[in-house]
Amino acid sequence: MSIFYVARLLLLSSYVNVLLVFVPIGIAFGAIHGSAYLVFSFNFLAIVPLAALLGFVTEELAKHVGQTLGGLLNATFGNAVELIVAVVALSRGEILIVQASMLGSILSNILLVLGCCFFAGGMYYQEQHFSNIVAQTMSSLMALATSSLLIPAAFRATIDSVEAGGLSEARMLAVSRGTAIVLLIIYVLYLVFQLKTHSALFEGLEGDAEDEEPAQISVTMCLISLTAITVLVSVCADYLVDSIDSLVVSTGLSKTFIGLILLPIVGNAAEHVTAVMVAMKNKMELAIGVAIGSSMQIALFLTPFLVVLGWVMGQPMTLFFSTFETAVLFVSVFITNAQIQDGTSNWLEGAMLLGTYMIIAIAFAFYPSGL
C-alpha cells in the first residue's frame, strides 16, 4: 500500500478537507507571531479538517480490530482533539480555558449536536424511535457527572465563608482530585458494562455491520497517519491557545466564551456531521450514541483525567466551576433527559434543544472575563 494511495484516500474522505490549506498557513502565521486574530482564525479552521481526518483514520483502524474494540477506539479518538487542545492549555496554566472547553464540549454535544439530529431527522420522519434504556443509562451517568460539579461548587461556597483563601484552595484541590479518581473508576465500570456484561443493549449503537465496508487502509498506515495528524493538531492547538490572550484583549470576548462556544466547534465538527447524517437515515440509536456518548466520556473521563494530569504537572486544575456554569450544565442535562426519556424524538424537540444552546451562547457572549 503506497503512501500516495493513502494520501489520496485521506484527502477525498470528506468535503471539509478543502480547509487543509489552512494547516500550513496557520502554522506559518503562528511561527512568525502574526496577528493574534489571524493566528487564531487560521489554526481554528485548520483543526476542523484535521479532526475529520482523525475520525476517518480511527474508523479505518476500528475495522481491523472488531466491533467491540472498534467502538471503544471510536469513542476514545472521537474526543482526541478536545484532549489535545486541553492538554496544551493546561501545560500553559490556562485553567479557565480547559474548564470552559470541557463544559462547552458537553453542552455542544447534548444540545447542539443532539438538537440538530432530532431536527434533521424530524424533517424526514414524523417520529423517530430509539432504545430509551440505553439513553437513560447514559443520562443517569451524565446526571452523576453533573453532581460531581455541583458538589465541589457547593463545597467551595461553604468553606470560602469560614476559611482563608489559601487553605480553602488546598481543600478544593483535594476534593476535586478525590472526586476525579472516583469518576474515572465509574467510567471504567461503564466500559465493562457496555463492552462485556450488557453489550447486547448497545448493539444498535454500533450501526449495521452488514453495511460496513472493508478497511481501505492497513493497520500500519493507520498508525502512521494517526501519529502524523496528532502532531499537526498539537502544533495548531499550541498556536491557537497561545493567541487567546491577545484575542481577548483585541476583541473583548471572554476566555470563557472562547473556550465554551468556539473551541468545541472545532473538536465536534466531524462528530456533528456524522451524527446528523445517521439521524437522517433513521439510525437514532447510533446518533444518540455519538452525541450523548461523547458528552458522557468528556464528563466522566476527560475532565477528571485532566484534573489528575494537572496534579501530576503541578497545575491547580479543579472540578470547581462558577455558579452560572454549573447551573447551565444542570439545566442542559435536565432538558436533555426530559427529551429522551420516552424513547422518541421529533423536529420540535430538536428545535427546543437548539434554542437552549443559543440562549446559553448569547448569555456567555456577554459573560465578563475573570469570573
pLDDT attached to residue 72 = 62
Burial of 31 (0-12, 13-18, 19+ CB in 10 A): exposed
Residue 298 located in a structural domain: yes
Residue 157 has pLDDT above 50, yes or no: yes
- CA distances from residue 266 to 67, 128, 271 in whole angstroms, order as listed: 27, 28, 10
Radius of gyration of the chain from its Cα atoms, rounded to whole angstroms: 20
Return the higher-pLDDT residue of 264 and 210.
264
CATH of the domain at 322: 1.20.1420.30
Residue 259 has pLDDT above 90, yes or no: no
Residue 165 located in a structural domain: yes
- Rounded to an integer, the average pLDDT of 345-360 is 93
- Rounded to an integer, the average pLDDT of 184-213 is 71
Instruction: Give pLDDT tens digits for 73-87.
Output: 666 666 778 888 889
Residue 371 located in a structural domain: no
CA-CA distance, 143 to 160, in Å (whole number)? Answer: 26
Instruction: Give pLDDT tens digits for 64-74.
Output: 766 556 656 66
Instruction: Give pLDDT tens digits for 266-292.
Output: 777 766 777 788 888 888 877 887 788
- Which range, of 67-81, 287-301, 312-326, averages the lowest pLDDT? 67-81
C-alpha cell at 285: 440509536
CA-CA distance, 303 to 98, in Å (whole number)? Answer: 9
pLDDT attached to residue 192 = 83
Residue 348 located in a structural domain: yes
Locus of grid cell 481577548? 248
Residue 159 has pLDDT above 50, yes or no: yes
Residue 163 located in a structural domain: yes
For 345, the domain range is 3-365
Residue 311 located in a structural domain: yes
Containing 188, the helix (H) or strand (E) segment is: helix 165-192
Nearest alpha carbon to residue 288 among 348, 347, 207: 207
Q: What is the count of structural domains for the chain?
A: 1
